[in-house]
Amino acid sequence: MIKFISVFILAFTFSPLWPLGQNPLPGDPFIIVNKKTNEVAYFHEGRVQSVVKAATGKRNDLTPEGLYTITVKVEQPYYRRKNIPGGHPNNPLGTRWIGFDAENTDGRTYGIHGTNNPNSIGKYVSQGCIRLHNDVVERFYDRIPLGTKVLIISTNKSFEQLGKEYGAIYSPKINPLLFEK
């Protein structure tokens, strides 16, 4: 009986449900935007699946840093500032909008979106959003469900370091006591 209780306590201690165990995962998939390199990493199944170039804010303060949640997804988004319908070649939002809740917004102010200006990718040119090539944002759109977490940061750390630090890169822990005979 004592052996059973000891195994139970050890197994529970190393469980993600226990406060002293592994940090809870941010979710899967997970997105990290590094403003310093103007790159976006897509994490899925505990590893980096792709890294792409992006455009971010003209000034460092325009693209807010923090951990956010995807709350809105729109195909052929309407550009309300200049009354440009979705799908129009002059629409700067491109073909997809993936909005997140930065600065207590509803996902309609800040987002990851396409662009009608592919030459802007890799540069600091936006009013705060993260721009991607249309074909890239279309691929992400299909893979990123509502509720996905987005980390925006400016750092010299690699995406692998960030993924480990924020729980997007993980390897399942195996408790050797579970295999004891």
Supply the residues annotated as catalytic: 113, 129
Q: Which two tokens stand for residue 172?
A: 């399942």
Sheet with strand 96-100: strands edge to edge: 47-53, 39-44, 30-34, 149-153, 66-75, 96-100, 110-113, 130-131
Peptide bond into 145 cis (omega under 30): no
φ/ψ of 124, rounded to 5, equals -100, 90
Which residue, 108, 97, 102, 106, is CA-closest to 144?
97
Three-state DSSP class for 75? strand
Rounded Cα–Cα distance for residues 30 and 7 (Å): 33
Tokens 């195909």 belong to: 75
Query: Residue 65 in contact with residue 151, Cβ under 8 Å?
Result: no
Which residue, 119, 34, 84, is CA-closest to 97?
84
